[in-house]
Structure 1
Amino acid sequence: MSWIKPVKFIAKKLALSVVISATVVSFAQAEKIGFPEKEELKFGFIKLTDMAPIAIAYEQGYFEDEGLYVTIEAQANWKVLLNGVIDGTLDGAHMLAGQPIAATMGFGTKAHIITPISMDLNGNAITVSNDIWEQMKPHVPKQADGKPVHPIKADSLKPVVDSYIAKGKPFNMGMVFPVSTHNYELRYWLAAGGIHPGFYAPHKGDSSGQLEAQAMLSTVPPPQMPSTLEAGTIYGYCVGEPWNQQAVFKGIGVPVITDYEIWKNNPEKVFGLTADFAEKYPNTTIRLTRALIRAAMWLDENDNANRPAAVKILSQPNYVGADYDVIANSMTGTFEYEKGDKRAIPDFNVFFRYNATYPYYSDAIWYLTQMRRWGQISEHKSDDWYKDLAKKVYRPDIYEKAAQSLIDEKIVDAKDFPDFATETGFRAPQSDFIDNIMYDGTKPNAYIDSFKIGLKKEDKL
């Protein structure tokens, strides 16, 4: 649903025609960045809590500070959202990190999409139905108080899946989109527990992702996950919040693991726009990036002190529209697994700390390695191919201009950002994965070859 611009917007637009936005964009800023070439913008999002930076940039007036007059519109699903950005209906959007990469590569829809800023770390979980949880529990290690030991590995799900296979029944699970973080996280968790999640074979016209699968993954829009689980169409799913906590509140499912436990501080959503937009409107692109950086900082500052206020905003129907308590269950630093088993996870949602907003090339390359692992990239590619594609999509050059301008204006502190003079765009090798496999973004093919389940660099289906 599109928002009607408030009266203050109309007043400022009248002023624009006379004084060229002097009340909104200072001339000191304009000298360094330039006035926005396009001021009226429409951004899309999916009803998930990690769209928060867009909502906060709007509600806190950060977009208006940049001379940008933004309307925000919820989209029906990720495909509709992507198409809206490509055809210009939307100027930019809250996107799955895999969407700009896949589109630029030509998997599915072909279009050059970029991201000047990452939107968050973590924020997802895997939920199973109550019935599946009861079948898993005998295989899950327990604490002294009888509660499950976390993280819960897919090893405890494997006997359940095996029993379904033995009975000739498909074990169905949901994820939100073929190039979503959720798809790759669910696949990663399953494979680490010895459960094959299936291959894609686009060169054969097979986009099901279910070739050789032991667990059958299919696409379900995020808000529909709980009802689809309740209907018995799927036995579990991977999704962002608040749709895991919704299952707990409704008493229909149990979140068994968060993505923080699958890959600590994993990159999640990005803000995506076309390369043409960024080229045609460079000042506007820098300015919207500035607004989103400030919003991310507000969300994390003072040890998440602003989160209750953010939850109140997100619970509005024009944003996420779930109950305050459901959103707060994860957004304020806790997470409830089995009903009554609430645990502290202060980093379940991270928007700024740990350089969450910086668009690292190595983050993009991780997604590409998983696309290759599961067959969405049909053939072996060189390490340089992965790096070159990452650099076409992830644009730290735009981010650095935006951040440096904020630093120069003393709106933010340089210590809260990477050292732009020495930053390479590659994180140090990471090993905080549930299977303890090391990921080095500079060596994608070696990483692909390190997995027991999945295509190796030279394999072809």
Structure 2
Amino acid sequence: MTWTTSITQQLLKPLILGIAIGTSLSVTSVNAEIGYPEKEELKFGFIKLTDMAPIAVAYEKGYFEEEGLYVTIEAQANWKVLLDGVIDGRLDGAHMLAGQPIAATIGYGTKAHIITPFSMDLNGNAITVSNDVWAKMKPNIAKQADGKPVHPITADSLKPVVEEFNAAGKPFNMGMVFPVSTHNYELRYWLAAGGIHPGFYAPHKGDTSGQIDAQALLSVTPPPQMPSTLEAGTIYGYCVGEPWNQQAVFKGIGVPVVTDYEIWKNNPEKVFGITAQFAEKYPNTTIRLTRALIRAAKWLDDNNNANRPEAVKILSQPNYVGADYDVIANSMTGTFEYEKGDKRAVPDFNVFFRHNATYPYYSDAIWYLTQMRRWGQIEQDQSDDWYKDVAAKVYRPDLYAKAAQSLIDDKLIPASAFPDFSSESGFKAPQTHFIDNLVYDGSQPNAYINSFTIGLKQGDKL
């Protein structure tokens, strides 16, 4: 930034912060309460997935600038590079896997205190298998009257295929995007619900492969490389976010068999991550960037997804996701294509604001921790209170509520669009919509862990 540009921004700052476009003059007093951003020039990272949309929209629609923030957005090579960038300060914040701030804070992998004031979306992932594997699965799947498969498709239909591979001494390889990704836990959840063991981690023994006792071998593949890796035959299936499942359909190399909406209805997906130090050093900036992201998320869901075609145009640009418009639109506009030609309405495949999608619930964080324990990434038993304490260190509904309340006061978003902050506990009611019909109660994590047939339970050690 040049000296002249900086001076111009300083002169314009009171105007930008005092009167947001199209709002009443009440913004002035509310913004004064928040205070000017301590840090104006910010760099945010992301991975080329459609669920980075709130960041792109906040930039393209001017929401960051209305908060006095001058943001650069930069795609990252992979999730580790992205996390390292936030930790070392090269990035001020980033689109993150929900498990990344949690894992970093407890010291699994890189140790750092990362927090999130904003949950970026619900749903958005799917599991895709190769055409050959799909052909072997189909005879095991019930059919509708029109001959199309009955959904949701469970991993019971994949189990004979995996057993066939194992009997022949051939590994059944599958891809996921990162060891603490939602994709890893969703793929493991789906496989285990169908009686297929996805393997354990034993970091205390130096084994971070996640393949101990595995019948299906899961390994990391960066999201944009999933289709080509599947096409090459290196993996036989994968779990990833969009547009890389629909890309397999368009290329004719694979079939998405189940969405994460079908595995766990309205599951949390990505978060916006910053260091705890950043939030402490720049409290006004933190609230202001959260305000901008909330506004972007609402715009994405407004008027029954009416803005999605415009969002798809934004995301198809090479500096964002860079996939073809039609590929991104296949899921972002409320449909999802499974087998070629089998396109079905899935209006909640991508949710950015409704269903309180942006609120950072403690119970969401605890679910990830239960899966880390289930598969051995957390080595030892922990008390229920430990799970709750970790969640409170990482997920920051207090910061979210401050940003949201200021938007309510500014008359930018009605109070009815948010949880009731005066009574909200941060714990969702027990959730019942899982593919295995188990109930998840975030207030009782150990009871939940003990309810699984496959996986570590209290007292188990590797």
Q: Which category of TM-score, normalised to the shorter sequence, fits these structures?
A: over 0.9
Q: How does 1:227-242 map to 2 (within 5 A)?
A: 227-242=228-243
Supply the distance in 2 between the matched residues of 1:150 and 1:262 (Cα, whole angstroms): 11
Aligned counterpart, 2:24: none
Contact 2:30–2:409 (CA<8 Å) still a contact in 1? no
Is residue 53 from structure 1 mapped to residue 54 from structure 2 by the alignment? yes
1:267 aligns with 2:268: yes
**1:15 maps to which of 8, 13, 17:** 8
**Residues 101, 113 of structure 1: 8 Å contact kept:** yes
CA contact (8 A) 2:155 2:193 kept: yes
Deviations 1:320-359 (A, max 9, x none): 0000000000000000000000000000000000000000
* Secondary structure of the corresponding residue to residue 13 of structure 2: coil
Partners in 2 of 1:162 and 1:350 — Cα distance? 36
**Equivalents in 2 of 1:15, 1:143: separation in Å?**
64
Residue 389 of structure 2 corresponds to 388
Residues of 2 paired with 1:77 and 1:15: CA distance?
36
Report the Cα offset of residue 14 of structure 1: 3.2
State the alpha-carbon separation in 1 of the partners of residues 265 and 37 from structure 2: 37
Report Cα offsets for 1:346-388 as digits up to 9, x if no partner.
Answer: 0000000000000000000000000000000000000000000
Deviation for aligned residue 1:29: 3.6
Given the superposition, is the C-alpha separation of residues 418 and 204 from structure 1 closer, same or farther in structure 2, using an over 3 Å criterion?
same
Q: Corresponding residue for 2:16?
A: 24
Paired residue type of 1:336: E
Cα distance in structure 2, aligned partners of 1:29 and 1:428: 33
Counterpart in 1 of 2:103? Answer: 102
Task: Quote the offset at 1:458 in angstroms.
Answer: 1.5
| 2:285 aligned partner | 284
Corresponding residue SS for 2:84: helix
Q: Following the alignment from structure 1 to structure 2, what is the Cα–Cα distance between the partners of residues 387 and 168?
A: 43
Measure how far apart 1:32 and its partner are.
1.2
- 2:340: which partner in 1? 339
Report SS of the residue matched to 1:144: coil
| SS of residue matched to 2:42 | strand
Matches of 1:128 and 1:375, distance apart in 2: 26
- Measure, in 1, the Cα distance between the counterparts of 2:103 and 2:199: 19
- Look up the SS of the partner of 1:22 in the other structure: helix
The AA in structure 1 aligned to 2:151 is H
Q: Give the aligned residue type for 1:13.
A: S
Superposed CA RMSD: 1.1
Question: 1:84: which partner in 2?
Answer: 85
Contact 1:140–1:156 under 8 Å retained in 2: yes
Structure-2 residue corresponding to 1:257: 258
AA aligned to 2:383 is S
Inter-partner Cα distance in structure 2 for 1:140 and 1:205: 39
1:114-263 to 2 correspondence within 5 Å? 114-263=115-264
Q: Deviations over 1:104-148 (max 9, x none)?
A: 000000000000000000000000000000000000110011100
Deviation at 1:15, TM superposition (A): 1.9
Q: CA–CA distance in 2 between the matches of 1:234 and 1:34?
A: 51
Q: Secondary structure at the match of 2:17?
A: coil
- C-alpha distance in 1, partners of 2:306/2:31? 32
Cα offset, 1:13, TM superposition: 3.4
> 8 Å contact 1:12–1:21 — kept in the other structure?
no
Distance 2:3 2:49 in 1: 29
The one-letter code sitting in structure 2 at the alignment partner of 1:425 is G
Amino acid at match of 1:394: Y
SS of the equivalent of 2:219 reads: strand
Counterpart-to-counterpart distance in 2, 1:163 and 1:411: 57
Given that 2:104 and 2:114 are in contact with CA atoms closer than 8 Å, whether structure 1 keeps it comes out as yes
Matching residue of 1:450: 451
Query: Equivalents in 2 of 1:142, 1:162: separation in Å?
Result: 23
Which amino acid in structure 2 is aligned with residue 14 of structure 1?
I
User: TM-score by structure 2 length?
Assistant: 0.97
> Is the 2:243–2:323 contact (alpha carbons within 8 Å) kept by the matching residues of 1?
yes
Q: Distance in 2 between matches of 1:12 and 1:266?
A: 43
TM-score, normalisation: structure 1: 0.97
Does the residue aligned with 1:224 lie in a helix, a strand or coil? helix
For residue 20 of structure 1, report the CA deviation from its aligned partner: 6.1
1-structure distance, mates of 2:264, 2:117: 23
What is the number of equivalent residue pairs in this alignment?
A: 453
1:23 CA drift (Å): 2.1
Q: Which amino acid aligns with 1:16?
A: Q
Aligned residue for 1:348? Answer: 349
Tell me how far 1:31 sits from its aligned partner: 1.9
Following TM superposition, by how much is the alpha carbon of 1:226 offset from its aligned partner in structure 2, in angstroms? 0.2
- For 2:8, give the aligned amino acid: A
Q: In structure 1, what residue type is equivalent to 2:207? A: D
Compare 23-32 and 355-364 and name the one that shifted more: 23-32
Specify the SS of the correspondent of 1:273. Answer: strand
Query: For 1:13 and 1:408, how far apart are their aligned partners in 2?
Result: 30
Distance 1:328 1:231 in 2: 26
Structure 2 unaligned spans of 5+: 19-27
Q: What secondary structure is seen at the aligned counterpart in 1 of 2:35?
A: coil
Tell me by how many angstroms 1:11 deviates.
7.6
Q: Among the aligned pairs, what percent are the same residue?
A: 81
Matched residue SS, 2:15: coil
- Alpha-carbon distance, 1:30 to partner: 3.4
Query: For residues 174 and 11 of structure 1, what CA distance do their matches in structure 2 show?
Result: 49
